[in-house]
Structure 1
Amino acid sequence: MDDRSYSYDPVGAGAPVNQQAYRMEAGQLWRQYVIAAVANIAVASTGYSMGWTSPVNVKLNNTEESPLPHPITTDQGAWVGSLLTVGAIFGPFIGGLAASKIGRKWGLLSSAIPLFLGWILVAAATNIGLIYGGRICWGVAVGMIFAISPMYCAEIATDESRGALGSFLQSFITVGFLLVYGIGPFVSYSVVAYVGVIFVGVFAIGFFFMPETPTYHLTKNNREAAGECLATIRGRSLAAVQPELDKLEAEVKAAQAKTATIADVFRGGNFKAFYISCALVFFQQFSGINAVLFYMTDIFQAAGSSLDSSIATIIIGAVQLIASCITPFVVDRLGRRILLLISSCGTAIGLGLLGMYFMLAASDNPVVEKLGFLPILSLVVFIVTYCWGLGPLPWAVMSELLPIEVKAIASPIATAFCWLLSFLITRYFSTIAEAVGMFTAFWIFGICCVCAFFFTLFLVPETKGKSFTEIQDMLAGRSSKLEKA
């Protein structure tokens, strides 16, 4: 008898198996990336919906292209832009409930319903009320997807690839933005809507064939389904995933031993995870990303650019996409904190320069003529560094920090908080900018980015390569009892 480790087949056949051979079984890492990519087609669809106003607002002000009998007013345009965020405030609670009751997969798949409904209302719109209704439906879907998608990706990922999969959200949302920026100005109002319907259909059909997360099956005490699911995701045999399944089951059982209520969110390590998550989404929104994108045309005009505004928007969309695609490749090497620090520093610099330019322009300073390049440079610096950290990582960090037992309660609250902030900024930024000056508004956002830098430096823990149990031990201030897998 040699010294290799033998035991019995975990599926119950009773035959001795070589556990060491199973542990050395190579798996297929690409599977979890493909599954996460298919799940994030929903995110890309929301990006298409969110960016819809950029090319379509022009059409709604042109009676020849608009489905409405009259051009929309400035106030109606503001509501069309902001009502999506109103729906998104309520969507996370629907998504959180669906994720815990019917599963992460079916909860995410059900977000296609309000997306489809929204596109039907928008495509059939003959009055502004139908467009309002469609935007609210999209918002509900956005809230659901932003609550469930990071959860789904975190639960199918290995510890080493969790950061990359978590940052898919920002990459895929920019795909949606770029698509609507690219086709919107050059096709009719109806064609934009039809492409949106097709986009949702591609997600619904593709994701239907994807697996549920092992964690959800274990919360329902279905170890067999969890094992089969994990084997599919890892591309390994059922026996080979047993050590990981055992570890995951122990984590889930430990979480289930605690009956989570809203009060539990505000206790101990749970509260630390919660306030860090809320602070990161606060800094994400108060980096001013929505305001900067809203005033993008004005910024190009201020620079004296001869580029058509629709072409300029496509270029910025491409810059967003390229910058967002960098994060998945480096986040699990560099870590979350260093990217958040670089991002908050870069966005602060971009906003500071942007504010300085608009201040000089407002005072008719002659030096402005020599700084025509500055608005575009500032905009590129801001968007690139935002896409490296403040854009994707608050969602990834939230999915890692919140423990299983409170995730279904805390994640929707934090996500709804994010969209409430987004609504306030989208709806009232122009009013505030007129009152205090656009440069002052940009500087306020810049100060928030500086605060984000120091908050990350002193309070955000590094989660790179750590298991969920190790992260919870770190938040609670105790040494982890589990070794890394």
Structure 2
Amino acid sequence: MADRASYAYDPVGTGAVSQQHRMEAGQLWRQYVIAGIANIAIASTGYSMGWTSPVNIKLQDKNATDSPLPEPLSPDELAWVGSLLPVGAIFGPFIGGLAASKIGRKWGLMSSAIPLFVGWILVAVAKNVGYLYAGRIFWGIAVGMLFTISPMYCAEIATNEVRGALGSFLQAFITLGFLLVYGIGPFVSYNVVAYVGVAFVAVFSISFYFMPESPMYHLIKSDRESAAECLMTIRGRSRTGIETELNQIAADVNASMEKTATLADVFRGSNFKAFYISCALVFFQQFSGINAVLFYMNTIFKAAGSDLDPSIATIIIGAVQVVASMITPLVVDRLGRRILLLVSTCGTAIGLALLGMYFLLNSQNSPVVSSIGFLPILSLVLFIVTYCWGLGPLPWAVMGELLPIEVKAVASPIATAFCWIMSFLVTRFFEPIAEAVGMYVAFWIFGVCCVCGFFFTLFLVPETKGKSLQEIQEILAGGKSKPEKA
């Protein structure tokens, strides 16, 4: 393990590493630990996003034995409780982008704890459904902030060889949050679920307080000494050992700071190419139908004739999500982003096609249905696993890599807000559309979107594996990339 944790980093990508660098090995594990602690906040948002799954049952309890509300929620009220988090997340990216540029990536992440805390307090003391609406909106603001700043922070602290892994932490940690709320929600009281949520945010706030700022942010603010201190902490090296890399980052920052990014700059040249690729990837992520599939998970299990308790089934699917999401950080910097996105879009399309076929046959009372009762569960597992390999984590990782330094604070919030607008549309209107045209048609629409995502990735998404941020910008501008290092 000691050998794998130590490395000699060539920041310029020339293959020439100084004698000092060869003598002084860095500590790669530090990047994983720092990014992991930063993503505790992402796990907290997963816990908040998955909260509706076990708690909706409590809120519909006609006996009101475990609900803080005076009467059960109506189906329409439940639909709004579910869909208001994406509404808050539409506005969160702009707050997060402003915080990242004004107070830094670290303190921007720290500030996301404020709306998370407020949301949990509102949920804990809820007296009517209005409290829940407000709490979900505050959670959404935090989600939008974190989905903007976290990929930015992880991309900026990472060396080229692990940047994809750290970027894919987002999906892995969000599924851990889902699994936690799925695992404890059905078996504890409404208030205990809320108290665990508060504790989750507190753990993040305390632990991340001791983590370093992004060196790139300090250099943007012309504070070279603070940048050096942060880089020494992140790399586990002396000042001499990080000097070459610091010079390279400073040169990249200086080159980018020669241009002052405006909204108009986002829509010009290679900036626009990075922006529309980022927006397209988050579109395909949301219109893979992930939220709709998870929302109808119990229906899918019942359609399969499963006797498994829905709460247990949800926990199993949550565990499958976690295991599948943990695979991506291990292989993304070996296989590359494009191959995983291609596998993911292909796998989700097949899973959705099979789900749609089953529901079509079921709606026609086909005798074949009784012999293929396994198909919904098989399709669901295929969909979940392949989604977690690519469409879940990689749009955020790729966004953090493609957008140049000078436009990140402007473009990232727009792309993230676009993602959550798409999420709101899917969450709020899937059910009425499915009722109007049939659930099988709705699943097939999502499947077609995944097929479109496959060809978009094949022809338009550049491979960023092993490339420096500067090399990626050269590729977007139409230049040739350097051969990948073995």
User: What is the CA–CA distance in structure 1 between the aligned matches of 2:264 and 2:371, rounded to whole Å?
Assistant: 57
Distance 1:366 1:483, change over 3 A: closer
- Give the AA of the match of 1:310: S
Contact kept, 8 Å, 1:47 with 1:173, in 2: the verdict is yes
Q: Shift of the alpha carbon at 1:21?
A: 2.3
* Deviation readout 1:139-178 (Å, 9 max, x if unpaired): 0000000000000000000001000000000000000000
* Deviation readout 1:167-193 (Å, 9 max, x if unpaired): 000000000000000000000000000
Match of 2:170 in 1: 169
Match of 1:56 in 2: 55
Q: Shift of the alpha carbon at 1:480?
A: 6.3
Contact kept, 8 Å, 1:115 with 1:141, in 2: the verdict is yes
* Deviation readout 1:52-111 (Å, 9 max, x if unpaired): 000000000111111000000011000000000000000000000000000000000000
User: What is the CA–CA distance in structure 2 between the aligned matches of 1:24 and 1:278, rounded to whole Å?
Assistant: 43
Contact kept, 8 Å, 1:23 with 1:240, in 2: the verdict is no
Q: Shift of the alpha carbon at 1:22?
A: 3.7
Q: Shift of the alpha carbon at 1:483?
A: 11
Contact kept, 8 Å, 2:348 with 2:447, in 1: the verdict is yes
* Deviation readout 1:183-242 (Å, 9 max, x if unpaired): 000000000000000000000000000000000000000111101110110001111101
Match of 1:115 in 2: 116
Distance 1:357 1:479, change over 3 A: closer
- Give the AA of the match of 1:342: V
Contact kept, 8 Å, 1:466 with 1:484, in 2: the verdict is no
Correspondences of 1:150-161 after superposition (within 5 Å)? 150-161=151-162
Correspondences of 1:128-143 after superposition (within 5 Å)? 128-143=129-144
Match of 2:305 in 1: 304
Match of 2:382 in 1: 381
User: What is the CA–CA distance in structure 2 between the aligned matches of 1:232 and 1:271, rounded to whole Å?
Assistant: 34
Match of 1:237 in 2: 238
Distance 1:379 1:481, change over 3 A: closer
Match of 2:42 in 1: 43
- Give the AA of the match of 2:255: A
Q: Unaligned regions of 5+ residues in structure 2, if any?
A: 1-16
Distance 1:353 1:212, change over 3 A: same
Match of 2:281 in 1: 280
- Give the AA of the match of 1:79: W
User: What is the CA–CA distance in structure 2 between the aligned matches of 1:270 and 1:480, rounded to whole Å?
Assistant: 17
User: What is the CA–CA distance in structure 2 between the aligned matches of 1:20 and 1:296, rounded to whole Å?
Assistant: 57
User: What is the CA–CA distance in structure 1 between the aligned matches of 2:482 and 2:307, rounded to whole Å?
Assistant: 62
Q: Shift of the alpha carbon at 1:351?
A: 0.2
User: What is the CA–CA distance in structure 2 between the aligned matches of 1:124 and 1:436, rounded to whole Å?
Assistant: 40
- Give the AA of the match of 1:279: A
User: What is the CA–CA distance in structure 2 between the aligned matches of 1:260 and 1:133, rounded to whole Å?
Assistant: 34
- Give the AA of the match of 1:471: I
Residue 395 of structure 1 pairs with residue 396 of structure 2: yes
SS in 2 for 1:239: helix
- Give the AA of the match of 1:218: L
User: What is the CA–CA distance in structure 2 between the aligned matches of 1:101 and 1:465, rounded to whole Å?
Assistant: 30
User: What is the CA–CA distance in structure 1 between the aligned matches of 2:483 and 2:349, rounded to whole Å?
Assistant: 39
Q: Shift of the alpha carbon at 1:335?
A: 0.1
Q: Shift of the alpha carbon at 1:25?
A: 1.2
Match of 2:27 in 1: 28
Residue 195 of structure 1 pairs with residue 182 of structure 2: no
User: What is the CA–CA distance in structure 2 between the aligned matches of 1:84 and 1:225, rounded to whole Å?
Assistant: 37
User: What is the CA–CA distance in structure 2 between the aligned matches of 1:305 and 1:29, rounded to whole Å?
Assistant: 46
- Give the AA of the match of 1:265: V
Q: Shift of the alpha carbon at 1:481?
A: 9.4
SS in 2 for 1:125: coil
User: What is the CA–CA distance in structure 2 between the aligned matches of 1:67 and 1:259, rounded to whole Å?
Assistant: 51
Match of 2:448 in 1: 447
Distance 1:221 1:213, change over 3 A: same
- Give the AA of the match of 1:114: P
Q: Shift of the alpha carbon at 1:482?
A: 12
SS in 1 for 2:467: coil
Contact kept, 8 Å, 1:60 with 1:71, in 2: the verdict is yes
Contact kept, 8 Å, 1:156 with 1:214, in 2: the verdict is yes
Q: Unaligned regions of 5+ residues in structure 1, if any?
A: 1-17
User: What is the CA–CA distance in structure 1 between the aligned matches of 2:20 and 2:326, rounded to whole Å?
Assistant: 36
Residue 362 of structure 1 pairs with residue 367 of structure 2: no
Contact kept, 8 Å, 2:466 with 2:484, in 1: the verdict is no
Match of 1:5 in 2: none
Residue 147 of structure 1 pairs with residue 148 of structure 2: yes
SS in 1 for 2:161: coil
Match of 2:89 in 1: 88
Q: Shift of the alpha carbon at 1:20?
A: 1.8
Q: Shift of the alpha carbon at 1:389?
A: 0.1
- Give the AA of the match of 1:49: S
Q: Shift of the alpha carbon at 1:479?
A: 4.3
SS in 2 for 1:305: coil
Distance 1:479 1:361, change over 3 A: closer
User: What is the CA–CA distance in structure 1 between the aligned matches of 2:419 and 2:482, rounded to whole Å?
Assistant: 34
* Deviation readout 1:379-404 (Å, 9 max, x if unpaired): 00000000000000000000000000
- Give the AA of the match of 2:31: Q
Q: Shift of the alpha carbon at 1:23?
A: 4.5
Contact kept, 8 Å, 1:341 with 1:453, in 2: the verdict is yes
Contact kept, 8 Å, 2:351 with 2:383, in 1: the verdict is yes
Contact kept, 8 Å, 1:264 with 1:270, in 2: the verdict is yes
Contact kept, 8 Å, 1:147 with 1:411, in 2: the verdict is yes
Contact kept, 8 Å, 1:469 with 1:482, in 2: the verdict is no
SS in 2 for 1:160: helix
User: What is the CA–CA distance in structure 2 between the aligned matches of 1:66 and 1:107, rounded to whole Å?
Assistant: 34
Runs ≥4 in structure 1, deviation > 6 angstroms? 480-485
User: What is the CA–CA distance in structure 2 between the aligned matches of 1:19 and 1:67, rounded to whole Å?
Assistant: 64
Q: Shift of the alpha carbon at 1:484?
A: 8.3
Contact kept, 8 Å, 1:467 with 1:484, in 2: the verdict is no
Correspondences of 1:176-215 after superposition (within 5 Å)? 176-215=177-216
User: What is the CA–CA distance in structure 2 between the aligned matches of 1:472 and 1:309, rounded to whole Å?
Assistant: 48
* TM-score (normalised: structure 1): 0.95
Contact kept, 8 Å, 2:165 with 2:330, in 1: the verdict is yes
